């Protein structure tokens, strides 16, 4: 890890690089996920530009929000999400996200749209988790702030307790990946699991994380996904436990982390975005295969 990466903004940008490369990589190989290793070894990967999805678009909005304000202001973040959606709606946004963002653009309050989703239950989807690793990186100096700021970023679109829990868990894993980066691998793994389980709100997502913490790292990604889920349901409980397991399993190897994640199939771009945004905080930007970073579509960050 390069020592000059010390400021919150530097950490967030590092996590965003890991997230966005993971997002584009997962999207590109989603149709051959379980055979991704063979595809890469046999044919290699196409040269850029690797297209990224709404995962990266919304993560960029979060980073921009923190760059401008140093924290999450939900009203401001909601409009950043809307502006990015309106500028480029073809990024793979889910139906629920599209409906909410279009309603906000027409003048509705995000408080109304977020709580009204799914017949008033709010969304328990994985959309707030997919974008939250850079937030954990930014606030890594205070896990209490990681929890509160992650909650604040989630409720703009995901009012359901499980949607919030997924965001909190990913943010915590990212923060702890940074905080333990100098520890031996096994010590770092234990510390990350400890804090994620301690501080993620109780519920279905937390129960999935507890189960994931017991899955041996010798198990294949495919079999771990059968036990934990890998995002086929596009919910936080069905996505976050597997993604965090993959990240902790290959905490010191970005390449293997993403390959293992793809072996689980499911919501490939989101899974890989979560994993990439966490693992890069231990291995550094130099841990991303250089060609992958080169081929990733340029990011259009916009902040003051």
Give the chain's domain count.
1
Alpha carbons within 13 angstroms on the beta-carbon side of residue 231 total 27
Q: By residue range, what is the domain housing residue 231?
A: 8-93+124-295
User: Is 230 in a helix, a strand, or coil?
Assistant: coil
CB 261 within 8 A of CB 272: yes
From the CB of residue 110, how many other CB atoms can be counted at a distance below 10 Å?
A: 22
CATH number where 20 lies: 1.10.4080.10
CA distance 180 to 71: 23
Backbone region of residue 92 per phi and psi (left: phi > 0; alpha: psi in -120 to 50; beta: other values):
left
160 is written with which tokens? 């359901």
Give the pLDDT confidence of 98-114 residue by residue, as tens digits.
999 999 999 999 999 99
* pLDDT score of 182: 96
CA distance 175 to 64: 18
pTM: 0.96
* pLDDT score of 282: 98
* pLDDT score of 3: 41
Q: What are phi and psi of 296, to 5 degrees?
A: -60, 135
3 found inside a domain: no
136 found inside a domain: yes
pLDDT, mean of residues 174-182: 98
65 found inside a domain: yes
Nearest of 246, 297, 302 to residue 270 by alpha carbon: 246
Residue 303 has pLDDT above 80, yes or no: no
* pLDDT score of 46: 83
Give the pLDDT confidence of 187-243 residue by residue, as tens digits.
999 999 999 999 999 999 999 999 999 999 999 999 999 999 999 999 999 999 999
CB 303 within 8 A of CB 64: yes
CA distance 262 to 241: 15
Residues shown for the chain? 304
């Amino acid at each position: 890890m390069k020592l000059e990466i010390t400021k919150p903004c530097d950490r967030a940008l590092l996590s965003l690089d890991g997230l966005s490369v993971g997002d584009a990589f997962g999207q590109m190989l989603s149709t051959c996920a379980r055979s991704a290793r063979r595809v890469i070894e046999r044919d290699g990967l196409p040269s850029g530009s690797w297209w990224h999805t709404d995962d990266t678009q919304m993560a960029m909005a979060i980073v921009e929000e923190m760059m401008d304000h140093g924290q999450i202001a939900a009203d401001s973040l909601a409009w950043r999400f809307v502006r990015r959606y309106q500028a480029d709606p073809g990024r793979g946004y889910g139906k629920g996200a599209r409906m909410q963002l279009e309603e906000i653009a027409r003048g509705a309050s995000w408080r109304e749209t977020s709580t009204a989703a799914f017949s008033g239950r709010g969304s328990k989807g994985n959309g707030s988790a997919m974008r939250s690793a850079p937030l954990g990186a930014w606030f890594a100096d205070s896990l209490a702030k990681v929890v509160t700021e992650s909650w604040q970023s989630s409720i703009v679109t995901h009012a359901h307790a499980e949607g919030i829990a997924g965001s909190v868990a990913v943010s915590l894993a990212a923060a702890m990946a940074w905080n333990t980066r100098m520890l031996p691998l096994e010590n770092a793994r234990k510390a990350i699991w400890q804090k994620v389980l301690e501080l993620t709100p109780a519920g279905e997502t937390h129960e999935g994380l507890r189960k994931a913490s017991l899955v041996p790292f010798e198990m294949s990604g495919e079999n771990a996904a059968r036990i934990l889920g890998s995002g086929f349901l596009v919910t936080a409980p069905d996505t976050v436990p597997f993604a965090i397991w993959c990240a902790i399993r290959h905490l010191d190897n970005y390449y293997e982390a993403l390959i293992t994640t793809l072996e689980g199939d499911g919501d490939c771009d989101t899974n890989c975005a979560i994993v990439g945004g966490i693992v890069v905080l231990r291995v550094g930007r130099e841990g991303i295969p250089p060609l992958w970073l080169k081929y990733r579509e340029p990011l259009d960050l916009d902040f003051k």
